[in-house]
Amino acid sequence: MSKYAIAIHAGAETVKPETISPEKEKQFREGLQQALQAGYDVLEGGGSALDAVEAAVRSMEDFPLFNAGRGANLNEQGETAFDAAIMDGKNLKAGAVCSIHYVKYPITLARAIMQESKHVLLSGEGAEAFALSQGLEMEAPEYFVTEERTKKWKDKLEEQLTGQHDTVGAVAVDKAGNVAAATSTGGLSFQHKGRVGDSPIIGGGTYAHNSYCAVSCTGEGEPIMKGVLAHEVYAQVKYAGNSLQHACEEAIKVDDDKLQGDKGIIAVSPTGEVAIAFNTNQMKRAYRIQGGESVVAVWKDDTD
């Protein structure tokens, strides 16, 4: 019997546990619960999977400790820049945006591109002009920059290192059996200006198909993009006949000798199965299936 369900992520990273205070871990869990509830409420009320993943991701774009929207990482110039994508498994329509600076909810711009543009992916000033034409909320650059991200940027400026690749995303299936996926990110801390990761790449970090699954990836964008991991999950289910969980686990390991790096995947099937796989010691994640309780987890050894 099919059930509606939603799963979300807010980043997969290999981190030292002692660097995450109990208070910050508590805040992570609260942010995950809020986003999960935002999406689940849509499904419970009979809303679409597309509406649910947008609602969940918007919640995380508003949450200053997650790397999307407000509180996003700063690039080497000390600027925020956002990428996002959304895909509807019912009709394979998709919208994506990259290298934007002023749009309050990048995921909503991605959806507007999907619905109102003849294109799939818009970037930079052109994407922002399109956002203005659609009447979307805009903010000045300082709105997105938090004190914590500024401190990390200054530390990275001294170290000349990259890191902090905690992307957010959501996948859902609604009462009608339609699936959707959405992913949003502020990119890597101290990344090159103009760098684009896997999140807005359809098949790379985001993919959805009603017959098989919806997938959202997180981690280091370069290996995820080169491995086309979101589509790999779909292919493992469609062509190899693997279960969704096994497909996610296999996708994480694809060409691992060549595509090394932190990787995390969430997926949902048209029948309400949720799958989560990652190769890190931390993946901020949550899910809820119709008739069940919310599950919120941060560390690898948390009970899912």
Q: Where are the domains of the chain?
A: 5-299
- Indicate the average pLDDT of the chain: 92
CATH architecture of residue range(s) 5-299: 4-Layer Sandwich (3.60)
pLDDT at residue 114 greater than cutoff 50: yes
Residue 195 known to bind ligand? yes
Residue 274 known to bind ligand? no
Q: What is residue 161's predicted lDDT score, i.e. its pLDDT?
A: 47
Between the alpha carbon of residue 64 and those of residues 14, 32, 186, the distances in Å are 20, 12, 11
Q: Are 63 and 8 in contact (CB under 8 A)?
A: no
Residue 280 known to bind ligand? no
Residue 194 known to bind ligand? no
Q: What is residue 37's predicted lDDT score, i.e. its pLDDT?
A: 98
Q: What is residue 72's predicted lDDT score, i.e. its pLDDT?
A: 82
Q: What is residue 156's predicted lDDT score, i.e. its pLDDT?
A: 59
Residue 153, token pair as written in the block: 């940027």
Range name among 41-50, 139-148, 178-187, 206-215 with the lowest pLDDT average: 139-148
pLDDT at residue 103 greater than cutoff 50: yes
> Please, what is the angle between helix 22-44 and helix 49-62, to 10°?
150
Nearest C-alpha neighbor of 217 from the set 156, 259, 155: 259
58-90 pLDDT tens trace: 999 999 999 898 888 888 777 888 999 999 999
pLDDT at residue 274 greater than cutoff 70: yes
| Mean pLDDT, residues 177-195 | 87
% the chain with pLDDT above 70: 94
151-177 pLDDT tens trace: 766 665 555 444 455 799 999 999 999
Residue 149 known to bind ligand? no
Residue 23 known to bind ligand? no
| Mean pLDDT, residues 233-240 | 98
Q: Which is more confidently placed, 216 or 70?
A: 216
% the chain with pLDDT above 90: 78
Q: What is residue 157's predicted lDDT score, i.e. its pLDDT?
A: 55
- Residues annotated as catalytic are 167
pLDDT at residue 179 greater than cutoff 80: yes
pLDDT at residue 146 greater than cutoff 90: no
